[in-house]
Structure formats: structure tokens, C-alpha cells
Amino acid sequence: MSRRPDDDQAAWAVLRQERERQDRLDSALADLRAEAEHWTPSARPPERLLAACRQRRNLRTWRHGAWWAAAAAAASLAALAWLGPRVLPPTHGVAATVVPAVKAPAAPAPAQVMEATLSQPSSGMFLPLGGPLPADGFVVRVNLPESDLASLGIAAAPGAGPVPAEVLMDQDGVPRGIRFLQ
């Protein structure tokens, strides 16, 4: 079956029309693109973004400090468990004497954490520190200086002194939650 010349012409007309339509659209989109080039937002990040960035840095420093505090506390606990129950043999009829527990030399706690001890958690909810709270873990009690409270978004009265808090650590020793005891 042969095609008639009229069919070809009609097909070409449709093609030409479609091509023109697409060209018109491309041209309009190019104009829109050119217009958008004139939209010039500020070249420097706004203060809100920079503050969020600084907060990340402070939180990271604090987490790092809390991790070392937990490590120091765990080392102390291990040393106590190892040396505490040991007793000296009785001498000269004197009853056994308990040797005072010797604390193992612990890693120096960073300035942010003034005191760190393992403790039973008190009642109350933990505030998550950038992730889900672990189902199981351990709690480290710390005294946070005022300067660190600001990094957690908490305003403290000047001269209020360190604030006792409990840090919930996961099994890897990463701080996952915090709650303030005062």
C-alpha cells in the first residue's frame, strides 16, 4: 500500500508544528533561566546557620569530654573492683586488715566535666543528644560547668556554679542522653 503525497505533507506539518512548539518552550525556559541569574542571595551564610555550626562544635567538644570522663570513671571502677576486696593475711594475732582501695591512675578529666562517677540513674526522662536513646546502657553522673550549659541551649544564672547531671552512655561509651538533677 503506497503512501499518498497528502499524507506525507500532513505528517510533515505536524512535525513542523511540534518542533516550533518545542522551540518556543525552549526559548521561554532560557529566558526564565536568564532571569533567575539575577536573583542574588547573600554570599555569606546567615548568623543563624553559623550559630548552628558553632553549636555543633561545642556539642562535639562536650561529647568528647563526657566520653573521656566515662572512660576515667570506668577505669576507676575497674581498679576498685580489682583491689578493693583484697585483704592482708593476719599477722601477730591481729584481725585481718582491709587494705585501703587504691585508685588506678585515671585519664585526666577534661575541664568541662568536673566530677564523673558511675551511679544508678535517678528517675526522670533523658534528653537525647542527637540520636535515639539506647535501650540499655550506663549512667555517668557529672557536674557540668555553666559555660557548657549554653552549648546545650540552656541558659544558666551567672554564678550558679556547676550543675549536677546524669549522662546516659550506650554500650560503646557514646553519650546518648542527658538529664539535669537540679
Partner 1 sequence: MPDPGQPDQELLRRARAGDEEALGVLYQRHYAAIYRFARHMSGDAALAEEAAQEVFLALLRRRDGYDPERGAVAGYLFGIARHWLSRRWRQDARWAPLNEEVAAAPPGAVGGAEDPERRETVAAVRRAIAALPEHYRAVVVLCEIEERSYEEVAQAMGCPVGTVRSRLHRARALLARKLEPARPSQPAAPAAPASVLTARCEA
Is the CB of 85 or the CB of 131 nearer to partner 1?
131
- CA 162 to mean position of chain CA atoms: 22
CB of 142 to partner 1, least distance (A): 22
In angstroms, what is the minimal distance from the CB of 84 to partner 1?
40
Shortest distance (Å) from residue 162 CB to partner 1: 24
Find out whether 147 and 99 touch, Cβ atoms under 8 Å: no
Task: Give long-range contacts, CB 8 A cutoff, 24+ apart: 103-106.
Answer: 103/76, 103/79, 104/75, 104/76, 104/78, 104/79, 106/72, 106/73, 106/75, 106/76
Among 52-60, 90-98, 109-117, 165-173, which window interacts with partner 1 (CB under 8 A)?
Answer: 52-60
Residue 22 within binding range of partner 1, rule CB under 8 A: yes
Smallest distance from partner 1 to CB 58, Å? 7
User: Cell for 63?
Assistant: 561529647
Contact 82, 99 (CB under 8 A): no
Q: Of these, 2, 39, 89, 157, which contacts partner 1 (CB under 8 A)?
A: 39
132 near partner 1, rule: CB under 8 A: no
On the CB side of 67, CA atoms within 13 Å amount to 14
Binding flag, residue 3, partner 1 (CB under 8 A): no
Which spans of this chain sit near partner 1 (rule: CB under 8 A)? 10-11, 14-15, 17-18, 21-22, 24-25, 27-29, 31-41, 43-46, 48-50, 52-58, 60, 130-131
